[in-house]
Amino acid sequence: MKLLTTLFTLASTITFLTAKPIPTILSTDIGSDIDDTWALAHILRSPELDLKMVLTETGEALYRGQVTGKVLEATQRADVSIALGKDYGVMGEQHRHQGPWVKNYDLSAYPGTVHQDGVQAFINLVKTTEGPINIIAIGPPPSLAAALKQAPEIAEKCHFYGMHGSFDLGYGGSESISAETNVRVDPGAFRAVMSANWLSNTLTPLDTCGLYSLEDDNYQKIWSSTDDPLLRSVIENYCVWAPRVPWMECDFFTTRSSTLFDDIAVYMAYDGSLLNYEDITFSVTDDGYTLRDPQGPFTAKVAISWKDKEAFQDLHIQRLLKQ
């Protein structure tokens, strides 16, 4: 496995040295599940991806912008703009799972750009950026859907990588499929995004992303990286988040990560070769199920199983640790 990991690392290095980093936009509901924060760190440690903007999704845009801004500022990446997406009012303290971490953070003081109309800013960035562009979507996509409604032509410049759906396996590897959260929260928005004319459309459903976490020595390497501002921000958020969500054991975060669903969407955007893919035609139900359906209206390239999850874990750790 170590040899395989070395070969994939070498291949990624060669790709980076011979290709210009791809302009990338992250669409995220950061601040709900901690995996979005891990995914942001993953992007920032991936030299193939030139992160230009973070577009907040699904809910209290100011709070999500605060979490994003504090992470970016901590790692001196204020060159990344923050686009505040569609807002639905104040969520309430019980839903701000990382809220204490940003309690005193003033987003208006973020040294980079904060766009109050994030949907329009997203459209403008895509239109003015020389393509192709990566869109990494790791949350329910109402802001993306709104942008596509206003300017459907922007999809033609973009590769879409989404953490969405459940085709053969559900949460926790269940053999019963699930109404995956990023689809279930707003099935209409997901349908709109799947209807867009993307350059490519690639999904990681629960079948692959729902099976990934960091454990044992690999996790401890991150846990102990107190001198790294980016990784320290991730772990600080994890320590705040874990006791505040009802599905976590209170001491879980000291031994391993939670499920890192979103990191697989990031991985697909720069490599993805350790995954097995299938072109799947499907439909989306009103309660958020993605169903295999030969007559369905949507088709995507789907990461349906792992070739070597352990090799990816080694690669992931190397990136986060800048090895």
Domains of the chain: 2-320 (3.90.245.10)
Q: Which amino acid is at 184?
A: R
**Which amino acid is present at 208?**
T
Per-residue pLDDT at 17? 47
pLDDT value at position 92?
64
Q: What is the pLDDT of residue 15?
A: 46
In a 3-state reduction of DSSP, which class is residue 173? helix
Q: What pLDDT does 58 receive?
A: 84
Q: In this predicted model, what pLDDT tens digit does every residue of 248-291 receive, in sequence order?
A: 665 677 889 999 999 999 999 999 999 999 999 999 999 999 99
From CA 130, how far away is CA 323, in angstroms rounded? 31
Q: Is residue 91 packed enough to be buried (19+ CB in 10 Å), middle (13-18) or exposed (0-12)?
A: middle
State pTM to two decimals: 0.93
* Identity of residue 187: P
Q: How many CB atoms lie within 10 A of CB 286?
A: 9
- Rounded Cα–Cα distance for residues 169 and 165 (Å): 10
Residues of the chain with confidence (pLDDT) below 70: 1-18, 89-94, 248-251
Reported residue count of the chain is 323
At 249 the pLDDT is 65
Tell me what pLDDT residue 89 has: 65
Give the pLDDT score at 295: 97
Give the model's pLDDT for residue 1: 47
Tokens 């923050």 sit at which residue?
82
pLDDT of residue 88: 74
pLDDT of residue 91: 62
Q: How many CB atoms lie within 10 A of CB 46?
A: 22
Give CA torsion, residues 190, 193, 198, 204, to 10 deg: -20
Rounded to whole angstroms, how far apart are CA atoms 37 and 220? 18
